[in-house]
Structures are given as C-alpha cells and as structure tokens.
Amino acid sequence: GAMVAENIARHVYGYMHDKPKRWRPLVYCWRGGQRSGAFVTWLRMIGWDAHQLAGGYKQFRHHVIDTLQTVVPQLKLRMVCGATGSAKTRVLEALARHGAQVLDLEDLAAHKGSVLGALPDRPQPTQKAFETGIYECVRRFDPSRTVFVEAESRKIGRAHVPDPLIDAMRAAACLCVEAERDARLAFLVRDYAYLGADIPALRSNIERLQGLQSKETIARWHELAALGDMQTLFGELIDLHYDPLYRRSQGGNFAGLSSAPRLHTADLSPDGIDRLAREILATLGTQFAD
C-alpha cells in the first residue's frame, strides 16, 4: 500500500502537476487490475475524469491484432506505386487534403522507407506502437471508399508491416506515378535536404550499401557526401541503386501493377503534386472535397 501511494504521489506531483481540470486520463496496467483501479480512484478524488482501460493493455493488444486481421481484408486498398523520388508520400498528403482516405505508413513508422529514410527529428516507434497507429487509422476508414496506400516493402526502417496488411497491399489494385528522372532528382534533393546537415549520418547510411555496390562506387559516394554534392550523389543513387531495385521488386510484389493506370508527370513541385493528386482522383472517379 505504501509503495502504491508513493508511486501515485510521484506521478501526481511530476507529470500530472500542471494538467487542467478537464483532463481525462486513461489509466491501464497489463491486465487492468487493482493497481490501475486504485490509481483511477485517486485521480478522480483529485478532480480529474479518469478512466480505467477494461482488461488492461493485454486485452487492448489482442483487440488491435484482431482488428487488423478482420478489418484490413475488407478495405478497398489502392496502392500508389512509382520509383523512388516520385513523391508518393507527398501525393498521399495531397490526396488526403482533397478528402481521400489515406493510410500513410511512412508517417506512422517515422521513416521514409529507403536506405536514407531515417528522419532526423523523429525516432521510430516500437513495433507495437506502429501497429497501434495503423489500427487507429484503419478503424476510422469507411470500407465502401478507396484507401490509398504507398507501395511499401515489408519493412519500413525497423518497423514491420503487419502480415494482414502487407498481404492485402500486395493483392490490391494499383496506380503508378511515372515521373521524369530530372523531376525525381530535383524532388529528392529538396526532400532530403536535411541530410546535408548531418554528413556523418549520411556516410553511415551509405556504408549500409556495402555488398550491393562496388567498393569504388561506395568510395565515390562517400566523397560526394563529404563535398555536399547531393545533386550528383542522388543522381547516382537513382541510376545505380534505387531504379534497379525498383525494377526487380515491384512487379513481383504487387499483383496489380502490370494493369495499373499510369500517370505521367514532369513536375513534382507542390503545385505539380497537387495537380497529380487531382488527376488520380479524376482518373479513378473517386469523390473528393475541395
């Protein structure tokens, strides 16, 4: 009892000391037992509208897994395919702004998916947190409407796409963004501009390509990184790494790619991406809101 009281006091005078009266905390432990129940009682005595998670985190975790297994196969997924640098994530964001349903896995995983995809200001979530994020999106979708998802591999950084979702993605209908190489290169240089501010991290990522590229190529890429020549570096990454990898993987991973509508663009500026999103919605006959 004394230890429980001490623990409650530590939280109340620490993390909770500045919470407003209208704060509504949800309290849970592994099974939703006496500890979380006692905590809720004390928080209510203080004046907060506290609630206990029935069954604890264990039951919630089972609920997340069950939802992904049952709801995901019912969704009308439409995969957004395209070579690296085709601004697929930005296209998803534009689609969402126009009222489309979007599942942005890279945002949930806090990673862009590529070898250079780690974000400088956002650590990746745990696997369970990643799956909970997917659950939070999935449970809100209208199953009668299309859900746009970027064509991802099974792993996004350290995060694994849950089996029910990756299976549904690979069987889903696709659309393909075919952007010109110069537009892709310009977009990558803009979108990964932060890499120029952390050359050691960039060089560390380049090292991960050992075994996939020759020693001479890796050495040249290290030199380009040290010089801050992102234009040349990303151009070579497109030609020697990303595009060959895309050609090998996409056709085999996504059954609907061969018959997918293809949208060509030479403009991946913000305005160009917005036009591309509108073209996608018009091509598919999807209703959206301005």
> pLDDT value at position 177?
97
Do 157 and 46 lie in one domain? The reply is: no
Do 14 and 74 lie in one domain? The reply is: no
Is 174 an annotated catalytic residue? no
What is the pTM assigned to this prediction? 0.87
> pLDDT value at position 253?
87
DSSP letter for 240, please: I
Does residue 59 fall inside a structural domain?
no
> pLDDT value at position 4?
66
Does residue 13 fall inside a structural domain?
yes
DSSP letter for 118, please: B
Instruction: Specify the number of domains making up the chain.
Output: 2
DSSP letter for 28, please: -
> pLDDT value at position 16?
86
Where residue 8 falls (left for φ over 0; alpha for ψ -120 to 50; beta otherwise) is alpha
Does residue 163 fall inside a structural domain?
yes
Residues of the chain predicted below pLDDT 70: 1-4, 32, 250-251, 286-290
Does residue 289 fall inside a structural domain?
no
Do 75 and 193 lie in one domain? The reply is: yes
Do 164 and 270 lie in one domain? The reply is: yes
Do 78 and 179 lie in one domain? The reply is: yes
Do 40 and 142 lie in one domain? The reply is: no
Do 254 and 166 lie in one domain? The reply is: yes
User: What residues have CB less than 8 Å from 282, skipping those under 6 apart?
Assistant: none
146-185 in b/e burial notation, b at 16+ Cβ within 10 A? bbbbbbbeeebbebebbebbbebbbebbbbbbebeeebbb
Segments forming the whole domain that contains residue 146: 64-284
Q: How far apart are CA 210 and CA 223, in angstroms?
A: 15
Q: How far apart are CA 16 and CA 253, in angstroms?
A: 48
Does residue 277 fall inside a structural domain?
yes
Dump pLDDT digits (tens) for 68-77. Answer: 999 999 999 9
Do 96 and 33 lie in one domain? The reply is: no
